[in-house]
Structure 1
Amino acid sequence: MKTLWTFRQIMIENELDVALFNATTDKLAKVFQVNTDNQRIDSVHIKSNMRRLGRISIFSTSINKFLANLKRSHSKHFATVNTDVIGKYISEKALSCFSLVKPSESSKTLLLKSAKTFMT
């Protein structure tokens, strides 16, 4: 895990994260034929916050989006999902733990949240 963090830090220090983000964004926009002339204001926040996402945050956000789409598109299958899982990932407060924490305390919070989520 330390290697992942070291590699990410090297990319950030050398501004390679910006180049990678721009290349990926450009490719996705081209493939999905997205008009980038009008940029949403919140897309700027995505770019600035993306470098700080950890694996747990990405995992939690992915589950949240998956469950929201499952509920919208396949309610029959959504009804079979354990209510504890739904409560942890689809509620209004589900992802807020990542935005309410000081950066200096984020690793401690992530460790506690992940332990509670994945060890129970």
Structure 2
Amino acid sequence: FCEAGAYDVVMPDMKYIGGIHEMQRTAAECEALGVQVSPHNPSGPICHAASLQVSASLGAFEMLELQFDESPLFDKLVGAPCAEISDGKAELPGGPGLGVQLDDAVLRRHADRPSREWRC
């Protein structure tokens, strides 16, 4: 579809495309075709941190979808906001790796919560 000119923007998801390398590879191919990339990102804080980091490296980057007050656990799971947002721009987390670290105490407090199986 991109080669046929059917898309102006694509929304690959870090979890399903195969990780950081595949996101970068796909974005490079899109950029060569004049197609922008806006990562699909309705995920938890670890995937969000990965999406932030890779988005900062993309030449064809349009914008990053993000959660906004959807879950009170989102920032608590990593002990702080994943990224400070100001004027529509996010500052990358500065810690090692993806820039965030899971808070083990928060994970333990919520480990016994039942999960739901989602089906389409």
Q: TM-score, normalised by structure 1?
A: 0.26
Question: When you count helix as a share of all residues, which structure comes out higher?
Answer: 1
Q: TM-score, normalised by structure 2?
A: 0.26
Higher Cα Rg: structure 1 or 2?
1
